[in-house]
Structure 1
């Protein structure tokens, strides 16, 4: 996959609310959230959109092997479980993790064993949290300036975290699930918006391609940044969407990109084919 001018960008829809939390189900459909719109949307392989579920301020989400969804709700300070049919089941995490208060769960991932990592996105005191399959809870790292998107390396030995207000991606080496062996290292510092405005260069959602390269949705930069597995900035792709918020792969050659033109809206959805 290369980010270049030959890539085909398809607008799926203009929406009243800014979009986030894209995730594919593996059979041609994907889902996204609308934060201030309070909706989790389903988009089928014909780009038809329907409301799949409601929450107060749904943000990042993942689909579990059985079809249930885990969804961060930034207003409810919770990670919520919905059935495969969109019915709310319970809060997996609410208000606290490892007896520490959480404020704004933003994005989340699971490892191959089923352990959960999620970010608590606040300024200066943000956290990456861990909720193990055995119920164990940990704070993986704290004191971050708005930790946002996160992704595991293919071998799950490293966790990459977007630290939005530092405009950088951190790399955490994992000794064991939820346990780091050292302080976070700066993996890459991202390009800076010439506007000089802090909010115009905030790394947000992350994804890995099948070559181990990191893709960064760069909020305020209207861009996706491509980063090598050694932490070198390789390319920038203009998405045409100023607030590019998040991204996921539908297949090896197709990305879904969320975001919009303002918050709380308007929002937009794109597919990018390579």
Structure 2
């Protein structure tokens, strides 16, 4: 795979498209919704009880939040982020979005309640129950959530969900944010090093859910469908979706 962050390339003399859009959007939305429900209903603890033959009945189960109770922040409003916001809005969530450039009102995603720019990230973090990082791996996103930025989550004890690329935050900063009480936990699908080493502290933290980078796994049938659609558009001289922009890194 070409790493656009480190390789200097001249402008392409042809159009080059990515596999993205609704196919990834559907899978990613299912991952986001299922993990929010899993977290709010504490299914992890319920499954542990099943494995041990314990009928868990705790008052916490009667005090869960539904998605409609939540404000969910999406970092990265490309085609996938827009699809995820549409699904979340279907559950009546409040959806906030961080975008590199805030679109004009007429161009905004109808499923987003509040937009924030990159410089306004602290405000988004202070207001969201879940922060879903869906950012690509670029120079600009390296350690984007690192340092002390997640201290802004302390008021709402947000849950961090990382499903974009693992360069956005380091393992050390995730651990620090949990230990300091800035976030209540993390749902992690991507990591700086994959597979995640067995020595990683993340494996042992109860407030962390780990999945092996499968939130939106590419399916062969979807690739074939998208290729067919793109070929038909190309032959009809229609614009192609998901064009790669070398200068952006994706």
TM-score (norm 1): 0.28
Greater strand percent: which structure?
1
The higher radius of gyration belongs to 2
TM-score (norm 2): 0.30
